[in-house]
Structure 1
């Protein structure tokens, strides 16, 4: 998600909260754009990605287990997916969407950073139901390092691709001459 999309999401959530409290929503300040620079209206980011939609709904209904950024993520109870499956109707999600959302949540760097030894694991209501073991903390640390390495390799490939200009492949003059 880009910064503009996150800002739009923040503003929309503020407006929904104010409407729920009976206040008149304030209009967010937007940077002025020239008409020719304005991008065509696109679907909202959470409507494009079922995982993002699922995470948004989990955050709305279970804010202690799925805190909104910048609050740090918390280690979740082992088997949290089974608990969340009991609330599919409340969440308005399919089982596949729920699985995508929980998987995306639990494979992020912020989540792995929360997985430190003896940290409490929380259920959907924010109640501690276990702790992170040393092995789980080590695994999370390894996963975070692996993801950072992948990101660095991807970034260096992009830089290399930007430095090289697209040219036709060099052709060997001898290979083009007809054999006699």
Structure 2
């Protein structure tokens, strides 16, 4: 397939996506601006480009508020993808003292110390991180370079935390089962 054919196919798909977005747009309820009537129709042009329309849709009508820590982790994943891989990729053991390294980049990412502390706390908590803490596994710095190894004590603590969480989740009565 030549470049001309690919370009034509791309244009055709963009038009199709724009028409699909235009069909779905009236279903989303938004408050009408003051003085606007229902007979006026949609205020957007029907032939809007597909990418901006798709990008603006989730922001216009979010179903749930997003935790600010999730936004901070998203910034870290974009800026340092090797140290903060996106799910489903396994997490990697982070360098001891990675917080100090992150503080050097905080201003350029638009983050403060509290946001970074919360993000690191959430990132390093949970089974996905604890399973990567295997004795002798390389610890990673912000650029993805090796910065030490996981010690036996760190690996034992990770196993302890993981088994404790499993034991607590198995012993807690589930609401659906308690009524039976």
The TM-score, its normalising length taken from structure 1, stands at 0.63
| Matched residue count | 129
Tell me how far apart the structure 1 counterparts of residues 117 and 76 of structure 2 sit (CA, whole Å). 12
Residues 54, 153 of structure 1: alpha-carbon distance in 2 compared, 3 angstrom cutoff: farther
Matched, 1:91 2:109: yes
Match of 1:109 in 2: 127
Tell me how far apart the structure 2 counterparts of residues 68 and 83 of structure 1 sit (CA, whole Å). 20
Match of 2:81 in 1: 63
Q: CA deviation at 1:42?
A: 3.0
Match of 1:42 in 2: 62
| SS of equivalent residue, structure 1 residue 68 | coil
Deviations, residues 136-160 of structure 1 (Å, cap 9, x unaligned): 1010011111122233334x23234
- Superposed, 1:25-174 pairs within 5 Å as 41-42=61-62, 48-154=66-172, 156-161=173-178, 163=179
Deviations, residues 36-89 of structure 1 (Å, cap 9, x unaligned): xxxx933665xx312111111100000000001111100000011111011111
Tell me how far apart the structure 2 counterparts of residues 153 and 41 of structure 1 sit (CA, whole Å). 39
Tell me how far apart the structure 2 counterparts of residues 97 and 150 of structure 1 sit (CA, whole Å). 29
Alpha-carbon RMSD: 2.8
| SS of equivalent residue, structure 1 residue 66 | coil
CA contact (8 A) 1:50 1:100 kept: no
Runs of 4+ in 1 over 6 A off after TM superposition: none
